[in-house]
Chain A
Amino acid sequence: EAQVTQNPRYLITVTGKKLTVTCSQNMNHEYMSWYRQDPGLGLRQIYYSMNVEVTDKGDVPEGYKVSRKEKRNFPLILESPSPNQTSLYFCASSLQAGTYYEQYFGPGTRLTVT
């Protein structure tokens, strides 16, 4: 089944403790992206990747890192999480960048930083 998977689905952590949220897609998509969703602010893009080893900042990249060593994986790294990063996170992928291909979203990761 074609899908985007994220792990963990739920995470409660403390300020400053490094964490990684994994994202994997099995559709051989070139484009992958991370979003965060907060009440009243909608969906905001954090980072995106046009292809392997090509990543770029989205609208709210501060406090996050990403890497794209393989086509299928696009982990989101929070080196020193803070309470303002408490949010619902979505990974998404698309066949190619720069065109009108639809995006496929993962199930989401609900992160709470205390």
Chain B
Amino acid sequence: DAKTTQPPSMDCAEGRAANLPCNHSTISGNEYVYWYRQIHSQGPQYIIHGLKNNETNEMASLIITEDRKSSTLILPHATLRDTAVYYCIVRVGAAGNKLTFGGGTRVLVKP
């Protein structure tokens, strides 16, 4: 699985959009970008994934650059409950379902 780089932390104002960057410059053509989050010591929660097109669901949007070397997770209207560690993971779909979490970005949503 390709290595990912995320900023260790960021703050966001409640009600504003939170933009979380992820660098994955060594991504290969068959690797997907996944985002999970973990709210303090709870089980990780799936957010969204994509291959090359931008994706949106009820939780977030995922923007992947054309060269696929980086992506951005967008939480459109951050709430206090979005305070969590966000993990960007790049993996091949057929590699089995093991998830390898890196350091992630610790997001603090402030009132």
Of the listed stretches B11-19, B63-71, B75-83, B94-102, chain A binds: B94-102
Within 8 A of B (CB), among A87-114: 88, 90, 92, 94, 97-108, 110
Q: Is the CB of A98 within 8 A of B96?
A: yes
A48: CB under 8 A from chain B? yes
Q: Is the CB of B97 within 8 A of A31?
A: yes
Known: A31-B97, A33-B98, A48-B98. A107 touches B49 (CB 8 A): no
A58: CB under 8 A from chain B? yes
Q: Is the CB of A107 within 8 A of B43?
A: yes
Q: Is the CB of A103 within 8 A of B99?
A: yes
Within 8 A of A (CB), among B52-111: 93-103
A43, A59, A99: the one contacting B44 at CB < 8 Å is: A43
Interface size range of chain B in the complex = 20 to 34
State the CA gap A104–B98 with chains docked (Å).
12
Interface of B is mostly: loop
Q: Is the CB of A100 within 8 A of B49?
A: yes
Q: Is the CB of B46 within 8 A of A102?
A: yes
Closest A residue to B43 using CB positions: A105
B110: min CB distance to chain A, Å: 25
Within 8 A of A (CB), among B24-61: 32, 34, 41-46, 49
Q: Is the CB of A108 within 8 A of B41?
A: yes
Q: Is the CB of A43 within 8 A of B97?
A: no
Could you list 14 A-B pairs, sorted by A, with CB under 8 Å?
Answer: A31-B97, A42-B102, A42-B103, A43-B99, A43-B101, A92-B43, A92-B99, A98-B97, A99-B94, A100-B93, A101-B97, A105-B45, A107-B42, A110-B41
A interface, CB within 8 angstroms of B: 4, 31, 33, 35, 42-43, 45, 48, 58-59, 88, 90, 92, 94, 97-108, 110
Q: A43-B99, A94-B97 are in contact. List 12 more A-B contacts (CB 8 A).
A: A42-B103, A43-B101, A48-B96, A98-B97, A99-B93, A100-B34, A102-B34, A103-B44, A103-B99, A104-B46, A105-B43, A106-B43
